[in-house]
Structure 1
């Protein structure tokens, strides 16, 4: 039977006195169990006859696993209402769910509905507007200080319906753009770059949510400083890399980058030993990251988590692990079984898990390992920090180590620099990187 920590008891009590509420608890502090306890209480008392939990696809199985850890009485109560767990994509695409009414709706990783114009956001807001109890969970409600991300999440917590549209009552019932015009300064692309009335916004958020960090509530072991392992770019990849930098084209491959996004993507691919061409083919180069990774793992004891951004890299790493006779599983969205990570947690013979950031950075426990290797960096600081926390969470008793394989003299160094400052590597930073490269600066 699950026993709650003190901070989880606090979260549960807040859910008991608020029909709509957000648990903005840092990754690894245990948001799921207070919600399951609350749903079981509501079901047992007859206050709800149905409930829906919406979560990222890779996380859905984690909810079912946690439900199985509850007491017999709690499981029986939840079974009596037919608790459903569905992914965000399924919810907005299937009308029988999107158009249904559930007495309680839970949005896990609620930053998935931060975009007010997204179809899944509209579907989730409508579901919440029809529900009597509405709970949202995320460790990053306003990543990178973007307070605008909170509007649609609060619309799910405290909805008001005006002429068929859902708005957050606690933000004055304003439409998104009316509210944005009131609280933010917009740039030429009509995006907020600075906020006013910040104290007022934060006061509203605090009133409707519970925020706590691991440092405040858990005696977890330390996160050790990053260990960056510099990797040389193979000479065969160096020329196409320079060509892509200088002219956005690789003539011998008949490949052209028509915009900065594609150019950045191609440079990142080359830093990891391959490039996808305009004809739909793929050219591979020797990748010294695999050599460094092999050397790291050959004398490694215990379990390890490896994060990659590209599926090509995942396949290359998986092949290396097979050559090393190192039992492993892969989680990258191609698996029918999204709970493969449980094998990594429970099976001593499975010593490694290779994850794509989008699939493995949220909602799963990987504390069987105390080491993460970032084979290549993500562009998102949010995904990166969530990935770090897969091993640094309740259940971990050892200091956590983080290794980065960064290809020297490439865009990866600039990306890692941005991530260290908790910033996304977007178009502005890419332009800065290109300018420094052109000037001959070290990047």
Structure 2
């Protein structure tokens, strides 16, 4: 398989390592680097753990480029015997429910989007950390989402057996939070030393702008007119909309309904999207959060529509028709998709997760893109969306706790 020079360089830098992390920016081809490293390690068995939406892509990748492997999607059925020269593919939500994997020996384990094990106390992370892999390959464009405290599980798999308390003491700045009566992370320290240590343990960091001159990025902030319903709910925390009663009796519910009142319940925003679609015959990608948004958008769109969400994965309209509209729910499609046939993304609503936000932008701004990329951020005037965008631009999550602090 012919690789790009930067991919060859990543493999050369880690030739002596059997535990590696390819922290390559989205669009630099981590899939090819990781699978080639797996092939070089040449163990009898191989295990790929990925998101559910990526299983079919990994299966196709190995069948197309590595026909010598027997590819097995380890999904519903139990497997009595794993044949040699095989690749087992399983998703993160299923892996910890397959205790027979603990019996697997002499294998290479590859984690696609290794940030999925950032919480070392989760079932998936605890299970993966207990597997007896001879070799480990970690793949991620955003290994921490800007939070270095979430690296510890990945460090452990790379063979750096530093204790969590010591890691936090050396690299994380904390201070006491009187309000919540606990330590609060306020920053990071010794970051260059941390990166040097990671490289020593087989980690490669690579950014797109170090490798390719990709087209220009253009951010368009669109101020959408607010509504009296938003103002009323923001003031009283309760509102009746037709047959629906929205009650913001907790910080989480109030934050949720403010987001929805700025989005799907704002007819001004829906009308702007319709006008934008009507103004072009080119492909448009729309990111959204909630099922109600999907329903409202699909009802409004007349032309060919592609969808990626928890229930549907159908990109046929995107692939085949230049005037298609592709609706993507963040959790289902912000990571891993190659959508560089389009050069316009509309953010109908914002995610509150920094990692998903950063990943979503790379769906079109990647290798193969020849046109300038346009991002339309539709922000309702006077709404929560402006603060969300500000926090996301700082590469931080907009948490319920942060929302509550700002309200107070």
| 1:328–1:350 contact (8 Å) kept in structure 2 | no
**Residues 206-254 of structure 1: CA deviation (Å, up to 9, x unaligned):** 2230001000011221212x112222234xxx23x33432233337865
Q: Tell me, what secondary structure is at the counterpart of 1:354?
A: strand
**Structure 2 counterpart of 1:89:** 93
Out of 308, 311, 314, the position equivalent to 1:331 is: 308
Out of 393, 400, 405, the position equivalent to 2:366 is: 393
Change (3 A) 1:231 1:195: closer
Deviating runs (4+, > 6 A) in structure 1? Answer: none
**Structure 2 counterpart of 1:439:** none
Q: Pairwise mapping of residues 30-429 of structure 1 onto structure 2 (< 5 A)?
A: 30-43=29-42, 48-70=43-65, 74-77=66-69, 81-97=85-101, 100-101=104-105, 103-127=107-131, 130-144=132-146, 146-158=147-159, 168-169=160-161, 171=162, 174=163, 176-186=164-174, 187-188=176-177, 189-208=182-201, 209-224=203-218, 226-234=219-227, 238-239=228-229, 241-250=230-239, 255-274=246-265, 287-321=267-301, 324=302, 326-335=303-312, 338=313, 340-341=314-315, 343-344=316-317, 346-348=319-321, 351-427=324-400, 429=402
- Displacement of 1:157 after TM fit? 1.9
**Structure 1 counterpart of 2:17:** 18
| 1:233–1:287 contact (8 Å) kept in structure 2 | no
Which structure: greater strand fraction? 2
Separation of aligned partners in 2, 1:345 and 1:254:
37
Separation of aligned partners in 1, 2:106 and 2:379:
47
- Displacement of 1:78 after TM fit? 5.6
Q: Tell me, what secondary structure is at the counterpart of 1:258?
A: coil
Separation of aligned partners in 1, 2:111 and 2:323:
31
Q: Tell me, what secondary structure is at the counterpart of 1:405?
A: strand
- Displacement of 1:349 after TM fit? 6.5
- Displacement of 1:98 after TM fit? 5.4
TM-score, length-scaled by structure 2? 0.87
- Displacement of 1:99 after TM fit? 5.3
Change (3 A) 1:66 1:393: farther
Separation of aligned partners in 1, 2:284 and 2:190:
45
Which stretch of structure 1 is more off in the superposition, 392-401 or 241-250?
Answer: 241-250
| 1:344–1:368 contact (8 Å) kept in structure 2 | no
- Displacement of 1:68 after TM fit? 4.1
Separation of aligned partners in 2, 1:203 and 1:316:
49
**Residues 374-428 of structure 1: CA deviation (Å, up to 9, x unaligned):** 1111112221110000111112111111112211121112212222333322346
| 1:308–1:374 contact (8 Å) kept in structure 2 | yes
| 1:377–1:416 contact (8 Å) kept in structure 2 | yes
Separation of aligned partners in 2, 1:89 and 1:102:
23
Separation of aligned partners in 1, 2:398 and 2:30:
29
Separation of aligned partners in 2, 1:215 and 1:403:
22
Which stretches in structure 2 are left out of the alignment for 5+ residues? 72-83
RMSD of Structure 2 on Structure 1 (CA): 2.4
Which stretch of structure 1 is more off in the superposition, 3-12 or 100-109?
Answer: 100-109
Separation of aligned partners in 1, 2:207 and 2:145:
15
- The size of the alignment, in residue pairs, is 388
Change (3 A) 1:64 1:302: farther
**Residues 58-83 of structure 1: CA deviation (Å, up to 9, x unaligned):** 2222222333442xxx3224656221
Which stretches in structure 1 are left out of the alignment for 5+ residues? 159-167, 275-285, 436-443
**Structure 1 counterpart of 2:78:** none
Which stretch of structure 1 is more off in the superposition, 112-121 or 76-85?
Answer: 76-85
- Displacement of 1:134 after TM fit? 0.3
| 1:311–1:332 contact (8 Å) kept in structure 2 | no
Change (3 A) 1:396 1:345: farther
Q: Tell me, what secondary structure is at the counterpart of 2:152?
A: helix
Separation of aligned partners in 1, 2:278 and 2:390:
29
TM-score, length-scaled by structure 1? 0.81
